[in-house]
Amino acid sequence: MRLAGRVEREYIREGRTGFSFQRICTAHPTTNPLYSRSQSHSPAMFVMQPLLALLLSAAGSTYALAPTTLKIQDYQSRMLELAGGSSQNLTRVQAVANSSSVNQNWKFYYSMSADSEAYQIVSGAPSANNSILWHHASTGGKPDTIAGVQDTTESTFWDIHLVQVGHNGYNILDKATRKLAITSSAGGMLTLETREAGKKEQQFQLLDPSA
């Protein structure tokens, strides 16, 4: 039986040229525990396993978090999960890609206060031309929004709030309230890209959560 407030630390490392990440999570059995799945991945792919709480909102009202899990897979069919949950403690997941062709270090933060949730993406190596690209075009359409990182301080932090839109989509708001969007319907594409590198660092396909 898990004890309330138990802290689990897990360290995974795959060789000199692989990637490593540290997962620190606090699970509380009386609320919604944070879940994560550990898997082995190819070192050529920059992989993340963020823990994400979905903020459900309609008509201006905010509802309690449900134990929702959004299943996704990357372009090599590796399964990941974004798990809904709740915790008053800061949960950090750090993914580091060690590759000659990929030199990005992204840190993913999830935190929750009494009245708001925040999912932050921080670039470990920010520069003037870095950008984060989110889109849900499953047919090769244009991206919804390209959000640029302009300096190395405030604008490298992204407070991302998920707001439910209908039954199959979520709008994402950053600190400047610019709207980004993903879809939760099966087959939608979620892409993270750095303009500086000129290629996709991460690509995920959204799966049917009930599958």
Q: What is the mean pLDDT of each run of 10 residues along the chain (211 residues)?
A: 30 26 26 30 31 26 30 45 32 30 33 38 37 32 35 32 43 40 41 38 43 45
What per-residue confidence (pLDDT) applies to 211? 45
Residues paired with residue 163 on neighbouring β-strands, in sequence order: 171
With vertex at residue 193, the alpha carbon angle to CA 80 and CA 51, rounded to the nearest 5 degrees, is: 30
Q: Is residue 1 part of a domain?
A: no
Q: For residue 13, what are the domain limits? A: 6-206
| Burial zone of 120 (CB within 10 Å; 0-12 exposed, 13-18 middle, 19+ buried) | middle
What per-residue confidence (pLDDT) applies to 106? 35
| 35-62 CB burial, b ≥16 within 10 A, e <16 | ebeeeebebebbbbbbbbbbbbbeeeee
Q: What is the CA radius of gyration of the chain?
A: 17
What per-residue confidence (pLDDT) applies to 175? 40
Count: domains in the chain = 1
Conformation bin of residue 166: beta by default, left when phi > 0, alpha when psi is -120 to 50 = left
What per-residue confidence (pLDDT) applies to 135? 30
- Provide the token pair at 142: 């244009």
What per-residue confidence (pLDDT) applies to 12? 27
What per-residue confidence (pLDDT) applies to 170? 41
What per-residue confidence (pLDDT) applies to 9? 28
CA atoms within 13 A on the CB side of 126: 17
Q: Is residue 211 part of a domain?
A: no
What per-residue confidence (pLDDT) applies to 30? 28
